[in-house]
Amino acid sequence: MKRTAIGFLGCGNIGCGVYRLLETHGETMAQNEGVAFDIRRILVRSPGKKRSWDIPAHLLTDRAEDVLDDPQIEIVMEFMGGEEPAASYMIEALRRGKTVVTANKMALAAHWEEIVRAAREHGAGLYYEASVCGAIPIIRALNESLQANRITSMMGIINGTTNYILTRMREEGAAYSDVLADAQRLGLAEPDPTADVEGYDAAYKLSILATLAFHRHVPVESVYREGITKITPQDVQYGREFGLTLKLLAVAREVDGRVEARVHPAFVPDSHPLAGVGGAFNAVYLNGHACGEMMFYGRGAGDMPTASALVSDMIKAAKAKRHMLPAVGDARCEMAEDWACVHFVRMQAKDEPGVLAQVAGLFARHGVSIASVAQKAGGDRPGAVQMIFLTHGGSEQAVRRALCELNHDIASVCSMIRVEGV
């Protein structure tokens, strides 16, 4: 039986999950896989702190050197979170020829090139399945199962917190702030929810997914990002009347050699497989030129689902004769500045003859074609109505230009939401 010495960087939710999985299932895994693990040291901030799983005190340390300098440790498991010092510790471990297994999308996406270079230059392994979508094996699928494909597009629900909030807004007609407060009470949203609700978490994950899918580095700064904080119950309900379900979508496409990578609220038709992904679940729906459409679905967070991906990477690393690095070329990735999709535009407009014709004329002048319009009573001001336009698929910049020229004496824009998957 091969025994591999490992060290942990961090032992919070995820670290305790990994420890627990190894303690409760390690023997069976050893029998099945022929590898066993010895945990030598665990770096934490406060060794005396009470943890969700009983960790032997002699393993805990607050000195990173105890893990990084230990020549016997072959695999460094990183789940301390944050950008620094996590990224520097990972790079240091790789430079010493140690394999790194990480759950940290932020450090990995923000320091992708340095981390991959350190792994390549020192022949060390780098495994990161848990950094995107928890237990769902999407990284392995992109790296190992779908290499024969040109991936043309990818759409994902890759943040469980926002999906939980939007699912409840749809089911209950509830307001964003009420559901968020509830999610925080239930521990499904952080006390500071910014990373989730403003789309940063999904942007880090999309940067990693798009980089692997298109074989060129898609920097996180190039990912267009909009969160869900401005979504109103009206948008969710009006969308519903059009047969649409609202999600925080991560979308990546390659069109004519340019890459689109964007995270924003988007409607999908109720009949689309992503519409049925409810609560805190995650899913990635992709299209490959040979494999066709595919959807990966499962738990994208939580201690045990994430530990499942981390321990699986650990087994793979321990058994590897040669580590495989991401198949990503050095060519610069050209990002798209515009993209085509259907747009849902909700306006508050004067309830007067000719207003609809003026707005339709404005769209027409900018080449935006309207697929359907609905008018609803109940504007915020007396004498106002709500008008909802669904466009045909077309340039986003054209829609934006048209809306910039809207005469505010007759109508104002309440929301503009993309519709994908039509």
Q: Which residues are catalytic?
A: 205
**Contacting ligand NAP (CB under 6 A), which of 4, 6, 7, 15?**
15
Nearest residue (CB) to ligand NAP, 49 versus 381: 49
Q: Residue 7 interacts with ligand NAP (CB under 6 A)?
A: no
CB of 102 to ligand NAP, least distance (A): 8
Task: Work out which of 7, 10, 125, 156 binds ligand NAP, going by CB under 6 A.
Answer: 10
Nearer to ligand NAP, 14 or 266 (CB): 14
CB of 105 to ligand NAP, least distance (A): 6
Exactly one of 6, 7, 13, 235 binds ligand NAP (CB under 6 A); which one?
13
Q: Which region, judged by CB under 6 A, interacts with ligand NAP, from 37-45, 116-124, 227-235, 361-369?
A: 37-45
Residue 173 Rama label (left phi>0; alpha psi -120 to 50; beta): left
User: Binders of ligand NAP: how many residues, by CB under 6 A?
Assistant: 23
For residue 200, the minimal CB distance to ligand NAP (Å) is 11
CA triple 149-254-418, angle to 5 deg: 125
- Distance (Å, whole) CA 60 – CA 47: 6
Backbone angles phi, psi at 21, to 5 degrees: -65, -40
Q: Which of 410, 355, 415, 421 is nearest to 388 (CA)?
A: 415
Q: In the set 3, 49, 230, 319, which binds ligand NAP (CB under 6 A)? A: 49
User: Residue 81, interface with ligand NAP (CB under 6 A)?
Assistant: yes
Q: How far apart are CA 262 and CA 224, in angstroms?
A: 4
Which is nearer to ligand NAP, 85 or 278 (by Cβ)? 85
**Which x/- pattern over 243-262 shows residues binding ligand NAP (rule: CB under 6 A)?**
--------------------
Q: Please, what is the minimum distance in Å from the beta carbon of residue 238 to ligand NAP?
A: 33
Q: Which of residues 83-102 bind ligand NAP (CB under 6 A)?
A: 85
- Residues 293-322, interacting with ligand NAP (CB under 6 A): 301-302, 306
- Determine the residue type at 82: G
Q: In this complex, which beta carbon is closest to ligand NAP, that of residue 184 or of residue 412?
A: 184
Residue 46 makes contact with ligand NAP by CB under 6 A: yes
Binding positions for ligand NAP, 125-144, rule CB under 6 A: 130, 134
Nearest distance from C-beta of residue 10 to ligand NAP, angstroms = 3
Which chain residues interact with ligand NAP by CB under 6 A?
Answer: 10-15, 43-46, 49, 79-81, 85, 103-105, 130, 134, 301-302, 306
